[in-house]
Structures are given as structure tokens and as C-alpha cells.
Structure 1
Amino acid sequence: MTTINDQTYIEKTIKGDTNAFSHLVEKYKVMVFSLSMKMLKSREEAEEVSQDTFIKAYKNLSKFKGDSKFSTWIYKIAYRNCLDNLKKNKEKYQTSTIDEITIDKINSTDNILEDISRNERAILMKECLNRLPEEERTLLWMFYYDELSLKEIIEVTEYSESNLKVKLHRARKRLLRVVEQNVEPELINHYGRK
């Protein structure tokens, strides 16, 4: 599944050509750093975790068998490094309980959000995502922003398919609750209720 270019650089690196690995770093550094920033919310920690990710990938490159894409493999390393960093720092994220959400409230929120420009929606959604627990925020980010398939997310997180689907469902519900509690009142004040 690895692209021919990636495979060539991997083989050269394993044979001792350290310059070949720099091509892989260059190709995937934005992806790794972006994930690290989303999960850690600290530029300094994201840079450190990104560097650690490439060091770990370099040291374990001979273990990469090519069963998945190289990008998925390195994404998984970055994801695990971020989780380790979060556990180490014991940063607590406030969570709110999920109450039952009625279809009317969902539709009402959707209708209001349709009236806002795409850019404003993106800013509001990022703010709402940042209020979610780290795991839920990361899963939603992987699925919707990084556009990873369920299969790729399963490879990265090592969740079963059914567990991942449940976690994504719960994350969507919690995100909707955050939108409802934090964004909807502001929008109603600004745009009025439909």
C-alpha cells in the first residue's frame, strides 16, 4: 500500500542512506505537526512530539512491512506519542454530560448554522471541538478534517470497528451538545430564532 516513492526512501534509509529519510520527514512533517497541535494545543509540545515521532519512525523503520500506507503508520506513531504526552502531563479536560437531544433542537441548531458564513462556521466548530475531551476531539478531527477512513482510524487507534463507531457517535452527540449550549444562544441573540 505504500507509494513507490515512499518505499524507495524507506529501502534507502534501511540501507543506511540518512538523506533518504529526510525526504520522508519533509513529506509528512506538516501532517504530524498538525495532528500534534490539535491534540496537545501547545506549539512547544507539538514540536517535541513531532520530533520524537520521526525519531521513533527512523529507529523502527525496519519493522514497517508496508501492509498499510506509510502515512497511516507514521500517523499512528504520532497519535500514540501525543496520547503518551497527554497521560504524562495529566491535563484534564472538562467534560459535560450528554443529555438526550431532541430532533427539534438538532434541526433548530442546524438551521441557524446554515445562515452563518462558511468561515464563521469553521471558527465556531473549532472552538466547540476544543471544548470536547481529547479523545473525542481527535477522533472527529481524524474523520472529518484529516478525512481518514474508518479503516485508517482503526489502524491508528487500534479500536474495533464497532467500538470506533460508538465512540464517533458519542463524540458527535457531545459536539452537538456543546454547539447547543455555547453557540446557539449567541446565534439566537445575533440572528433571532427562526
Structure 2
Amino acid sequence: MRQLEDSDLVSKTLRGDMKAFGVLVDRYKHMVFTLACRLLRNKEDAEEVAQDAFVKAFKALDTYAGDAKFSTWLYKITYNHSLDRLKKKKRTIDTVSIDLSKPVGLEVMNKVLIELEQQDRSRLVKAAIDRLSEEDAAIVTLFYFDDLSIREIAEIVLLSPQTIKVRLYRGRKQLANLLNTSLLKEKMMNYEH
């Protein structure tokens, strides 16, 4: 069933084939979650919004006209639901505790250090994206991480393609400045220690 086009899977779902909708969910679950996460900046909220977006999509599947790609239609649902969630809920900061009371072997420690270094780079990029406005962060994510076209993004966020180009340019410029500033601060902190 993986070789079927989205439109074929939609048709099968509308005829009662729940496995077909399961394939659509598998195809787009990561991208839907990523978009929700970019907008909400909270994993638990993003998971809920992603699930809700698929439920909404399933319930509204008979309204999908096929003039846009299914993924674009689904992202639009996710985007709007994420914005609704942002309006309803204030953000809170999540903290994670680390238990360092148990001794750790050298091999495990090396793996942990390598992983932490990779996570640190990833954290810097994510932190920089998080400092963008929610809309700009979503647009950057849709373009660079989900590989959507400018036209598709414009359909999702209801802005003109020219506005999307301007936002991408501005977002790239802000990210470069934020990353350069973060790296410079990190180097200075390491130099002081």
C-alpha cells in the first residue's frame, strides 16, 4: 500500500479502508509533529496537536477537494490547530533532572559526551529557531526541514509567496546572527574557564 498516491489512499479511506488512513498517518506523522513542535515549542502540546490534527483530517476527509496536495491540506489543519492552542494556553518551561549519583564506565561516558556534543549543536539551532516568531519558525521549518515549496507554505499559512520569500530571507538572516552570537558567547565562556 506504500506505493499508492495520497489521493488513492484518501479515496480508499473514504470507502472505509482504515489501513489506508494509517498509511497516511505514517507518512506524515513526523512532519505534522515537527510543525506543531516548532509553533508550540512544547513536546507534549505538539503531540496532542498532532493527534488532534489527524483526527480533524479524518473527520473532514470528505471535504478534501484534491486541488492542493494532501500534505499541504494536512499541514494547514496542523498549523491552524497549533495557532488555536497557542491562543488558549500560556507557555511553561519544562525542566529535566539528571541523576548523576550512579557511577558510569569510561566507554559509556565517551558515548554520552559525543551525544551531548551533537545535542548541543542541535540545541543551538533549535534555540535559535525558537527565538524567531512562531510564524517565522514554522515557515523556516516547513521550508528547510519538511522541504515544502514556497507555494505550498503560502497555502498553509495564508500568505503570498512573496511574503514567504521575505520571511525566509529574514529568518535565515536572524538565524545566522543568532547562531554567530551563540557560538561567540560559548567560545568566550570556554575561554574564561
TM score, norm. by length of structure 1: 0.72
Q: Which runs of 5+ in 1 are unaligned?
A: 93-116
| Aligned-residue CA RMSD (Å) | 2.7
Q: Distance in 1 between matches of 2:15 and 2:34?
A: 30
Distance 1:70 1:133, change over 3 A: same
Q: Which runs of 5+ in 2 are unaligned?
A: 93-116
Letter in 2 for 1:152: E
- Higher mean Cα deviation, 41-50 or 15-24? 15-24
Show the counterpart of 2:47. Answer: 47
Number of aligned residue pairs: 166
C-alpha displacement of 1:120: 6.0
C-alpha displacement of 1:80: 1.4
Show the counterpart of 1:150. Answer: 150
C-alpha displacement of 1:189: 5.8
Q: Distance in 1 between matches of 2:183 and 2:77?
A: 34
Show the counterpart of 1:62. Answer: 62
Letter in 2 for 1:126: K
Show the counterpart of 1:182. Answer: 182
TM score, norm. by length of structure 2: 0.73
Show the counterpart of 1:22. Answer: 22
Q: Distance in 1 between matches of 2:36 and 2:149?
A: 19
Following superposition of structure 1 onto structure 2, how do residues 1-194 of structure 1 map, counting pairs within 5 Å? 4-91=4-91, 121-187=121-187
- Higher mean Cα deviation, 179-188 or 46-55? 179-188
Q: Percent identity?
A: 42
Q: Distance in 2 between matches of 1:27 and 1:125?
A: 25
